[in-house]
Amino acid sequence: MREKIENERFLLLQRQMPFLSSANLIAGFGLVAMLWDIIPHQTLIIWYGLMLLFWMGRGLHAFFQKIHLYQTTSIERKSNIYYIFPLISGVFWGSAGVLFYTPESTAHLVYLIMFQFGLIAGAAVTLAYLRG
């Protein structure tokens, strides 16, 4: 019974992943737009370009996983990859905290901190599907 519940958790996460990963992309765009006049454009474009590449890689992974979605023989192995994605995403958002830090603007620092905490909260909820 426990295995069936874990499989259902994974399948639920798998079905929701395109929407959840798109939230990273939308949030990144919002951050870039907010900081466009403060941070050098090249830094913002490179960071967001890398975020886009990561999003496309995640999308390709989801596409290929969907082909073999209901083969439960390796669901635990497949679910382990979902720990790697948040790690990479955390590196992106952590680098945003370093790259986009502006000591002369306290308002933007507060915005960046609140933004980071919002993303952390969203990631925690997402990962809650994997392990009970």
pLDDT at 53: 93
User: CA neighbours within 13 Å on the CB side: how many for 84?
Assistant: 9
Domain ranges of the chain: 2-127
Q: Over 70: is that where the pLDDT of 110 sits?
A: yes
* Rounded-to-10 torsion of CA 125, 97, 114, 107: -170
Confidence band, pLDDT 50/70/90 cuts, at residue 75: low
* Token code pair at residue 71: 């083969």
**Quick one: average pLDDT of 97-107?**
85
Q: Look at the pTM and tell me if it is higher than 0.95.
A: no
Q: What does the pLDDT look like over 16-68, one tens digit per residue?
A: 777 777 888 888 998 899 889 989 999 999 999 999 998 898 888 777 776 66
